[in-house]
Structure 1
Amino acid sequence: MAGHSKWANIKHRKARVDAQKGKVFTKISKEIMAAVRQGGGDPNNNFRLRLALQKARSVNMPNDNIQRAIQKGAGELEGTNFEEIIYEGYGPAGTAVMLEILTDNRNRTAGEIRHIFSKSGGSLGETGCVAWMFNRRGYLEVSKEGHDEDELMLLALDAGAEDFEAGENAFEIYTRPDDFEAVKEKMEAEGISFGEAAITMIPETTVEVPDVEGAKKALALIEALEDHDDVQNAYTNLDVPSEVMAELENE
């Protein structure tokens, strides 16, 4: 499971303050609808819906928006049927990219995603071309402030976590997908709060892009993909060294 901490650091260093709350809410609404259609509208019996609702509350999504999405997913209100697709491809410098898509028009989305890859110096690949490089894992992030590393690690491992790493700014806890909710709940019962809590795709190893121009192109691709309305999640094995990231942030 090498490279996790680097992946998480890149993920957070490149994150921007997203002023487009409408777009964030739209993506979460789509996830809620898909979750309800898959497993019903009761979050007590639908783990995917519980995760989507947690994400909605973490960004202060209004309750009215949440309820409308649940009703659309349940067929109580008119809503769009979304198809779930995984796209895979390659970014600049041979980096791997995986996308989780929710779309109402597969052909339109495929063309637009292919264009984003090509414009950024990457290429959309065939199914399975990079999926083998990633593992689905639960991810929990805890601020370093106010926490002792050894104590937190013991608590996480006792709760059933699979791995624990100290990142630059936070402690990173990894679980098996099936154990994610139980680990999260046990730690919350001990007063631990999380900066991020999600089931995500973690790269087995990362690809370091040590030059500013290469890193800029690789990050631009990920940001362009994340900005697309149909992309729910974008995952990459990109690793940009701290000094290069600092240069980019100062530009």
Structure 2
Amino acid sequence: MKVGLFIPCYVDQFYPGVAIATLQLLEKLGVDVVYPQNQTCCGQPMANSGFQDLSKGCSDLFIKNFNEFDYIVSPSGSCVLYLREHLSETGHHNPDYLGNKVYELTSFLTDVLKVETLTASFPHKVGMHISCHGQRGLHLSSMSELVAPGFSKPGSLLNMVKDIEMIELSRIDECCGFGGTFCVTEEAVSVKMGKDRIADHLLHGAEYITGADMSCLMHLEGILKRQGSNVKVIHIAEILNAGGNGSNN
């Protein structure tokens, strides 16, 4: 199994530690990982702003860089959802569509590698933020408004981490308000939603807020810093890679 690692541009520029943690975690789990050096933005920002035609160059480069891999893994649900549904190749209805090979990290760990144990350790109280793209687009976790059995792929992995204390939130799948360009065009609404999301974590004593999308965590981090809070954000890859070696026995 040959895996290509796709690192979104905002992670590469602002949170390189997330990329490193993702690579190290996959390697600890015995995955043959390659990082194509010429990769760049997936094209989502242009498409979300109504300029899908301007993203074709990004799509063409992505196909060129990743066409040879069995799987493509990325620590960003929003970018993965965009690639799975909008990559300008043959369309996601085609079984040979390259976008079908793109996986968000926690989905790859649970659905493909079928990880059952981890030796990571993270002795802190942690609240988990479920990003909308991951939950409602990639089905990484159940939706609280549905009458159906609950599940959480990120949550199942975090429960394997030694000494971690996961807090229970009052509103488990509320949007943080980031929404990509939404936080620019509707700044006041976005900030209010982010403050409400943080308040739920603070109410239940979180020391860290984690999630599978660094974009949402970046939004929350900005609000936390402006509030002078000691609560930190951390990508789930950094927790799963913390203090031990991975195992998928």
TM-score higher than 0.5:
no
* Greater share of helix: 1
TM-score (norm 2): 0.31
Higher strand share: 1
Q: Which has the larger radius of gyration?
A: 1
TM (normalized to structure 1)?
A: 0.31
